[in-house]
């Protein structure tokens, strides 16, 4: 189990509802290993460090699930997901789904390492005491893990009882009723659909290829009015997804909130220090949001969505030993490649890049 707050590897959080129940931190580590591998092709890291981390994370989740005779599926009970106002819930969708992905990826890496690095695999398995049947068990758990989904609403329910809690709409709340985290007692927070931060919408971004556009749109529309953004980690996530859905005004509004969080002291705690994760999120609003950068099944893709009034956006990207220099303007984008030839995609269309060449590509009107 990966700690939620740490200095030396041990759990240092003083809050039980976070330190012991926000167990999705391990799935974030597995996701980071996968993302790093896709972007760099650095198999040496995977064999030397990543595989061991993935094995231990998968072992944790295989031991953490429970079998539900009623559902005839595996479930994960008593967790706190990314939304920190929903404490000790059953089947947080984000947690279940990312645990499923971590289990699948760990099993895939185990199979691959056994073939491509047999000596290293035997040494690692021996050192960790890994039984031959364990990767198969991970696949079994992943295949049978319950993922909440409501077909009538077309959304992934945040957890087992989210729809049964008291309805909440941030736009209708009285000004003196917010921030909820400071003005509401815990029992009211836990009984309400008021959310501190992105949860299912975060899942839509992190596992972007797994969900069709209509599901992303439905989840965004359902959860956005319920989210108070009292976590500094929330506005940037909604900016990413608003940009992907073509909602430029909302994407820019959330970007400004993220970028100005400390300058405007939005959350009232800037005196304690800078929100470094939010600062990173603001950068990603520009690159992943307005620049539309994604890595889809090993291919670097771009779907730019400049805010109204922006005349130019320029940035560089390192990808598998190459550097791409990008300039995005409202009507077109220019790409220069340094390094070996590379095929990317822009707005879904394949683009072949040649070393040193500058490609100018038209962009659809806003």
- What are the structure tokens assigned to 136, written together? 């198969």
CA distance 237 to 285: 8
CA distance 355 to 338: 5
Q: What is the DSSP letter of 287?
A: I
CA distance 358 to 259: 31
Helix (H) or strand (E) holding 115: helix 93-116
DSSP calls for 77-106: -SB--S-TTS-SBS--HHHHHHHHHHHHHH
CA distance 303 to 315: 14
Q: What is the DSSP letter of 195?
A: B
Using CA atoms in the order 330, 336, 342, 348, what is the torsion angle rounded to 10 degrees?
Answer: 0
CA distance 236 to 254: 6
CA distance 65 to 75: 6
Cβ distance 361 to 332 under 8 Å? yes
Which 3 state secondary structure label does DSSP give 326?
Answer: strand
Which 3 state secondary structure label does DSSP give 281?
Answer: helix
Give me the active site residues, please. 84
CA distance 111 to 234: 36
CA distance 330 to 165: 44
Cβ distance 172 to 122 under 8 Å? no
């Amino acid at each position: 189990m990966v700690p939620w707050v740490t200095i030396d590897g041990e759990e240092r959080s003083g809050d039980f509802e976070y330190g012991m129940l926000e167990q999705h931190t391990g799935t974030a580590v597995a996701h980071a290993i996968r993302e790093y591998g896709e972007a760099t092709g650095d198999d040496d890291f995977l064999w030397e460090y990543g595989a061991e981390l993935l094995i231990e994370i998968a072992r944790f989740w295989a031991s953490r699930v429970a079998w539900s005779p009623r559902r005839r599926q595996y479930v994960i009970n008593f967790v706190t997901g990314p939304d920190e106002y929903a404490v000790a819930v059953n089947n947080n969708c984000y947690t279940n789904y990312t645990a499923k992905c971590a289990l699948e990826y760990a099993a895939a890496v185990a199979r691959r390492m056994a073939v491509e690095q047999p000596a290293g695999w035997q040494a690692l398995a021996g050192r960790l005491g890994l039984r031959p049947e364990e990767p198969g068990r991970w696949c079994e758990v992943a295949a049978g893990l319950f993922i909440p989904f409501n077909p009538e609403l077309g959304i992934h329910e945040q957890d087992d009882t989210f729809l049964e809690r008291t309805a909440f709409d941030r736009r209708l709340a009285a000004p003196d009723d917010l921030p909820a985290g400071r003005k509401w007692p815990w029992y009211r927070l836990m009984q309400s659909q008021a959310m501190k931060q992105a949860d299912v919408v975060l899942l839509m971004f992190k596992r972007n290829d797994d969900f069709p556009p209509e599901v992303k749109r439905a989840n965004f529309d359902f959860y956005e009015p319920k989210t108070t953004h009292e976590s500094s980690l929330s506005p940037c996530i909604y900016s990413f997804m608003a940009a992907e859905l073509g909602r430029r005004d909302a994407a820019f509004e959330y970007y400004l909130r993220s970028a100005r969080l400390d300058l405007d002291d939005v959350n009232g705690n800037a005196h304690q220090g800078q929100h470094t994760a939010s600062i990173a999120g603001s950068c990603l609003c520009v690159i992943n949001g307005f620049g539309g950068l994604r890595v889809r099944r090993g291919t670097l893709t771009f779907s730019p969505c400049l805010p109204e009034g922006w005349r130019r956006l320029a940035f560089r990207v390192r990808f598998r030993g190459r550097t791409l220099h990008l300039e995005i303007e409202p009507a077109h984008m220019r790409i220069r490649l340094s390094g070996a030839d590379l095929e990317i995609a822009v707005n879904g269309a394949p683009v072949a890049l040649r070393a040193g060449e500058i490609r100018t590509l038209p962009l659809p009107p806003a």
